[in-house]
Protein backbone atom coordinates (compact mmCIF):
# COMPACT_ATOMS: atom_id res chain seq x y z
CA UNK A 1 0.00 0.00 0.00
CA UNK A 2 1.10 3.55 -0.66
CA UNK A 3 2.86 4.82 2.49
CA UNK A 4 0.78 8.02 2.54
CA UNK A 5 -2.55 6.24 1.97
CA UNK A 6 -5.19 5.88 4.66
CA UNK A 7 -6.68 2.52 5.55
CA UNK A 8 -10.16 1.87 4.20
CA UNK A 9 -11.63 2.30 7.69
CA UNK A 10 -9.85 5.64 8.24
CA UNK A 11 -10.88 6.87 4.79
CA UNK A 12 -14.53 5.91 5.35
CA UNK A 13 -14.53 7.65 8.74
CA UNK A 14 -13.04 10.75 7.13
CA UNK A 15 -15.95 10.99 4.66
CA UNK A 16 -18.75 10.54 7.20
CA UNK A 17 -19.96 13.00 9.79
CA UNK A 18 -19.89 11.87 13.39
CA UNK A 19 -23.70 11.73 13.31
CA UNK A 20 -23.74 8.36 11.50
CA UNK A 21 -25.50 5.74 13.63
CA UNK A 22 -24.91 2.58 11.63
CA UNK A 23 -22.91 1.29 8.67
CA UNK A 24 -23.45 -1.55 6.23
CA UNK A 25 -20.53 -2.70 4.08
CA UNK A 26 -20.76 -4.63 0.82
CA UNK A 27 -18.00 -5.41 -1.66
CA UNK A 28 -17.50 -6.64 -5.17
CA UNK A 29 -15.45 -6.36 -8.34
CA UNK A 30 -15.87 -4.16 -11.39
CA UNK A 31 -16.97 -6.38 -14.27
CA UNK A 32 -14.52 -5.16 -16.93
CA UNK A 33 -11.27 -5.03 -14.93
CA UNK A 34 -12.15 -7.21 -11.91
CA UNK A 35 -10.79 -4.50 -9.61
CA UNK A 36 -12.18 -4.43 -6.09
CA UNK A 37 -14.62 -1.89 -4.71
CA UNK A 38 -16.40 -1.48 -1.38
CA UNK A 39 -19.74 0.22 -0.79
CA UNK A 40 -20.18 1.69 2.69
CA UNK A 41 -23.78 2.66 3.44
CA UNK A 42 -24.41 4.85 6.47
CA UNK A 43 -27.62 5.65 8.28
CA UNK A 44 -28.38 8.63 10.46
CA UNK A 45 -31.37 10.69 11.53
CA UNK A 46 -30.94 12.77 8.36
CA UNK A 47 -31.19 9.76 6.04
CA UNK A 48 -28.93 7.29 4.27
CA UNK A 49 -25.67 7.81 2.39
CA UNK A 50 -23.71 5.32 0.30
CA UNK A 51 -20.07 5.87 -0.69
CA UNK A 52 -18.10 3.68 -3.11
CA UNK A 53 -14.38 3.17 -2.51
CA UNK A 54 -12.20 1.77 -5.31
CA UNK A 55 -8.95 -0.17 -4.85
CA UNK A 56 -6.06 1.23 -6.93
CA UNK A 57 -2.96 -0.51 -8.28
CA UNK A 58 -0.77 0.95 -5.50
CA UNK A 59 -3.05 -0.63 -2.88
CA UNK A 60 -4.73 2.62 -1.86
CA UNK A 61 -8.50 3.18 -1.62
CA UNK A 62 -10.14 6.21 -3.25
CA UNK A 63 -13.66 7.47 -3.94
CA UNK A 64 -12.85 7.61 -7.66
CA UNK A 65 -12.09 4.58 -9.84
CA UNK A 66 -8.62 4.01 -11.30
CA UNK A 67 -8.07 6.03 -14.51
CA UNK A 68 -8.22 2.93 -16.71
CA UNK A 69 -11.73 2.17 -15.38
CA UNK A 70 -13.29 5.64 -15.59
CA UNK A 71 -15.00 5.05 -18.93
CA UNK A 72 -16.26 1.58 -17.99
CA UNK A 73 -17.75 2.57 -14.61
CA UNK A 74 -21.52 3.03 -14.56
CA UNK A 75 -24.02 3.72 -11.83
CA UNK A 76 -27.37 2.02 -11.77
CA UNK A 77 -30.25 2.86 -9.44
CA UNK A 78 -30.88 0.35 -6.71
CA UNK A 79 -34.04 -0.22 -4.74
CA UNK A 80 -32.12 -0.78 -1.52
CA UNK A 81 -30.86 2.81 -1.38
CA UNK A 82 -34.26 4.28 -2.27
CA UNK A 83 -35.88 2.83 0.84
Q: Which residues pair with 41 in a beta bridge?
A: 24, 50
As a whole number of angstroms, the distance between CA 83 and CA 81 comes to 5
As a whole number of angstroms, the distance between CA 64 and CA 45 comes to 27
Gap between the terminal Cα atoms of the chain = 36
pLDDT attached to residue 3: 55
For the CA atoms of 6, 27, 59, 35, what is the dihedral angle to 10 degrees?
A: -150
Domain assignments of the chain as residue spans, ordered by start: 8-66
Residues 58-76 pLDDT 10s = 889 998 888 765 555 555 5
- Strands 36-44 and 61-62: what pairing? unpaired
**Secondary structure of residue 15 in the 3-state scheme:** helix
pLDDT attached to residue 83: 46
Residues 20-62 pLDDT 10s = 667 788 888 877 778 889 998 888 777 888 889 999 888 899 9
**pTM to 2 decimals?**
0.67
Amino acid sequence: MNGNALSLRALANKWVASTAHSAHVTHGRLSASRRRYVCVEYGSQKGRLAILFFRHDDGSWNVFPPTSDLLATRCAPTHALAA
